[in-house]
Chains A and B, each alone.
Chain A
Amino acid sequence: MDFTLKIWRQENATAKGRFETYPVSGISADCSFLEMLDILNQRLINKFEKPVCFDHDCREGICGACSLYINGRPHGPDSAVTACQLHMRKFKDGDTITVEPWRAKPFPVIKDLVVDRSAFDKIIAAGGYISVNTGGVPDANTIPVRRADAEIAMDAAACIGCGACVAACKNASAMLFVAAKVSQFSMLPQGRPEAKERVLKMVAKMDELGFGNCTNTGACEAECPKQISISHIARLNREYLSAKIL
């Protein structure tokens, strides 16, 4: 297959970026999107040009490093996958494909398609945990959890922290990311003792870092590679309100 790639190139955080056009040809339909970029990069290196920088690591859709905005959609046109699991068979021969980094103020560009997502780590550090030290915890089976609740907690916990929700949101809101963590712990008895503090601290940190508000557009859910539901945002709102009022 042949494609025309329009890729965002930016030397560093302060430099002005621009789109560069690169034709690529002879790509197998079974090639993943990142392998297609590998092929492009090999060709650039052969010409002594700088390869395109992009974040990637596990290449099996779980580490959350992928952060490519492809044809106006986080992780591209396929549903429920990250860019590393997107395959070229999802495109048509001859397509022009635009590749950009995540666009959100709290995620500044470092280089080309690489952005700084450390804001997510800061939100977790603010309260995304259950405060237990190593050792001195009860036997695991002394804490029964209703199976249905454990399943909801797991649905939420599946978040890979890629930031597609923020990139998809017109407000650059991190509500789905925060909701996934708050929801996971709110469904588990272990998480209840500090539920109030957790939700207040995480939301405050999210606001402080410059993420926008949620206006219920639902773009985050539509683009989430792990299909995390916005019903978790509803649960976050409930947790937040009760923490504020009670």
Chain B
Amino acid sequence: MTKLNARIPEGPLAEKWTNYKAGQKLVNPANKRKLDIIVVGTGLAGASAAASLGELGFNVKAFCYQDSPRRAHSIAAQGGINAAKNYPNDGDSVHRLFYDTIKGGDYRSREANVYRLAEVSGSIIDQCVAQGVPFAREYGGLLDNRSFGGAQVSRTFYARGQTGQQLLLGAYSAMMRQVNTGMVKLYPRTEMLDIVIVDGKARGIITRNLATGKIERHFGHAVVIATGGYGRAFFLSTNAMGSNGSASWQVYKKGAFFANPSFVQIHPTCIPVHGDYQSKLTLMSESLRNDGRIWVPKKKEDVEALRSGRIKPKDIAEDDRDYYLERRYPAFGNLVPRDVASRAAKERCDEGFGVGSGLAVYLDFAESIERLGKHVIEERYGNLFQMYEKIVDDNPYETPMMIYPAIHYCMGGTWVDYELMTTIPGLFSIGECNFSDHGANRLGASALMQGLADGYFILPYTIQNYLAAEILTPRMPTSLPEFVETEDRIRERLNRLMQIKGSQSVDQIHRKFGLLLWELVGMARNRKGLEKAIREFASLREEFWREARITGGLDEMNPELEEASRVADFIETGELMARDALQREESCGGHFREEYQTPEGEANRNDEKFMFVGAWEYTGTGQEPVLHKETLNYESIKVQTRNYKI
């Protein structure tokens, strides 16, 4: 049985990364030229890694399913990026960012990785500014900050409501500069279908060209996956339509452990579901909670009157409004972490106080508009308000927004050690794709930070420690039997998909599965539901392989085939999510087990039994996977119950 070794460097927490860098092996410039690195995914993590590795002199091949790397879904991140710069002089420090992240993650993330993340956070801002990212500025010309959930300092840098876009374009431009020098070769509209392992090491990938259907083999001395999360398993989520968890699922099936799959983030402020034809949910940035107040009516009769349209939200007197986050969590108010805010919204709606369809709460800007003026709100959130108005056909400057929680981000992912290497030697996993930094709940504005930290400042170091031993490995021909066999299996799978010719479209099956996943492995989970989920998903898997209908052919652009392959993986991932949620008999972060809550309805964590990372090892489809536990040791902080009340 493989043993987990996180390979955390010795020494005091604050010195681990420095010590690591001082002692790690490097690859000299002449040898870098002889080494090829495959990077799959061109979001913040992938693009920044490809750019940085190319600059160092490695030969990089970058793959993305989109028509251009600039469209990776990091582009949709709105609110901002955290960094411990302490520019506002409000008491921030590396230690405080580290502490907030560990606490926000409900003490389920790895201390050494999180500390390193906080440590490099400041360099990310420097890098992005040097690249020309147009961050918001004060009148004096210096950078502006705003607050985000789970923190009592302002450490979030932002570019209007389009921070992800601007950071991604920065990383994309840096990568395109390397494309121009020839150090990075770009493969857009190309999807990884499997990883190739030669003598126990990751040595390449098999891809499908999505424009032509052509299957291709690619060699690399190392493979990096930066393919994001599996949130679209739920069908409705804030992820892009093409976002998928297939790369991390394929490598799981080849021996890379999958950690904490049940840790999925449900974002509190999304535009509510409005119809059964709906294809996705749209996020409204967490930054809105800086100036918006969340409430529902106190009286059921007001709820009724609102739903029937007899009164408008502004007709409800101040005393008859329940600002439930401010009521329950006075210290953090509307800026509690996402998991807490989401559950509180669900609690109110379950009690019958939801507005709109019943599954919505108000996010109200009336007070801020009165205090600051409409122009200030417009300056801060103009594009978000415009987006809301276009979708909902209602003016949020005049009527409060209606919001409800939705699936947004995956804290779980491929298990990696301190070097971001998976349990397959030579296979690295970065960004949302890995599990390492956010524990059971991610704080707002920390995804961008982690993606860029991994890609710019961590992987380019740690990958060299691995590659230093590979300088004598010549480039391998892709005619090796390992490549041929992997390709054959992929072709067999694709042919099998095309031959099903069943009675249901892939979309239909995905919707059905997504609803079940949301109901049984969503915001609140319990033993009975999870056991049911495992059974149901197994039969849904069989139903998929019996009933899916895929039109078109193999050797052409065929979005139905792409989607089918992804959905097949999602259903299997769902089964693992349910297993993980079932074994974790506690509530922590985004994982809420109804059996484990305090009398006030807060999450009841069990540190004695569950202070570990649950890393799953694949044993075969339909077989029970093996759970490995990485015990979490907190040396530098005192583990406490999360309290956002006082």
Q: Which residues of A contact B (CB under 8 A)?
A: 11-12, 28, 30-32, 34-35, 38-39, 42, 44-46, 48-51, 53, 55-65, 78, 80-81, 85, 87, 89, 110-111, 114, 116-118, 120-121, 124-126, 128-135, 137-141, 143-147, 150, 153-154, 157-158, 160-161, 184-185, 188, 190-191
Question: C-beta contact mask, B459-477 vs A, less than 8 Å → 1, else 0?
Answer: 0100000000000000000
Known contacts A129-B176, A135-B123: does B559 contact A53 (CB below 8 Å)?
yes
Question: C-beta contact mask, B267-284 vs A, less than 8 Å → 1, else 0?
Answer: 000000011011110110
Contact assessment for B180 and A30 in the assembled complex, using a CB-CB cutoff below 8 Å: no
Q: Which residues of B contact A31 (CB under 8 A)?
A: 275, 277
Measured CA separation A90–B347 after assembly (Å): 36
Contact assessment for A130 and B557 in the assembled complex, using a CB-CB cutoff below 8 Å: no
Measured CA separation A118–B211 after assembly (Å): 13
The verdict on B69 contacting chain A, using a C-beta distance below 8 Å, is yes
- Interface size for B (C-beta < 8 A) is 79
Contact assessment for B180 and A121 in the assembled complex, using a CB-CB cutoff below 8 Å: no
Measured CA separation A32–B179 after assembly (Å): 36
The verdict on B505 contacting chain A, using a C-beta distance below 8 Å, is yes
Quote the shortest CB–CB distance from A246 to chain B (angstroms): 22
Contact assessment for B134 and A134 in the assembled complex, using a CB-CB cutoff below 8 Å: no
The verdict on B92 contacting chain A, using a C-beta distance below 8 Å, is no
Q: Which residues of B contact A63 (CB under 8 A)?
A: 66, 71, 73, 75-76, 240
Q: Which residues of A contact B85 (CB under 8 A)?
A: 140-141
Quote the shortest CB–CB distance from B67 to chain A (angstroms): 6
Measured CA separation A14–B594 after assembly (Å): 58
Quote the shortest CB–CB distance from B320 to chain A (angstroms): 29
The verdict on B55 contacting chain A, using a C-beta distance below 8 Å, is yes
Q: Which residues of B contact A (CB under 8 A)?
A: 48, 51-52, 55, 66-71, 73, 75-76, 85, 87, 123, 125-132, 134-143, 159-160, 162, 165-166, 169, 172-174, 176-177, 179-180, 186, 188, 211, 240-242, 274-275, 277-280, 282-283, 386-387, 390-391, 393, 456-457, 460, 505, 507-508, 549, 551-552, 556-557, 559-560
Q: Can you identify 21 A-B contacts, CB atoms within 8 angstroms? A: A12-B557, A34-B279, A45-B549, A57-B71, A57-B242, A58-B241, A59-B241, A59-B280, A65-B71, A87-B391, A114-B557, A116-B67, A116-B211, A118-B68, A121-B179, A129-B176, A129-B177, A140-B128, A144-B141, A158-B162, A160-B165
Contact assessment for A38 and B66 in the assembled complex, using a CB-CB cutoff below 8 Å: no
Quote the shortest CB–CB distance from A107 to chain B (angstroms): 11
Q: Which 5 A-B pairs have the closest CB atoms?
A: A144-B141, A129-B173, A137-B130, A140-B129, A154-B134
Q: Which of A28, A116, A118, A134 interacts with B127 by CB under 8 Å?
A: A134
Q: Which of B139, B180, B460, B556 interacts with A12 by CB under 8 Å?
A: B556
Measured CA separation A33–B101 after assembly (Å): 40
Measured CA separation A158–B78 after assembly (Å): 12
Known: A58-B76, A145-B141. 4 other contacts (CB 8 A): A46-B505, A58-B75, A135-B456, A137-B127
Measured CA separation A226–B216 after assembly (Å): 37
Measured CA separation A80–B382 after assembly (Å): 13
Q: Which residues of A contact B180 (CB under 8 A)?
A: 125-126
Known contacts A141-B87, A191-B132: does B169 contact A157 (CB below 8 Å)?
yes
Measured CA separation A100–B351 after assembly (Å): 48
Contact assessment for A150 and B393 in the assembled complex, using a CB-CB cutoff below 8 Å: no
Known contacts A50-B552, A60-B387: does B131 contact A30 (CB below 8 Å)?
no
- B242 to chain A: closest residue by CB: A57
Q: Which of A62, A120, A132 interacts with B68 by CB under 8 Å?
A: A120
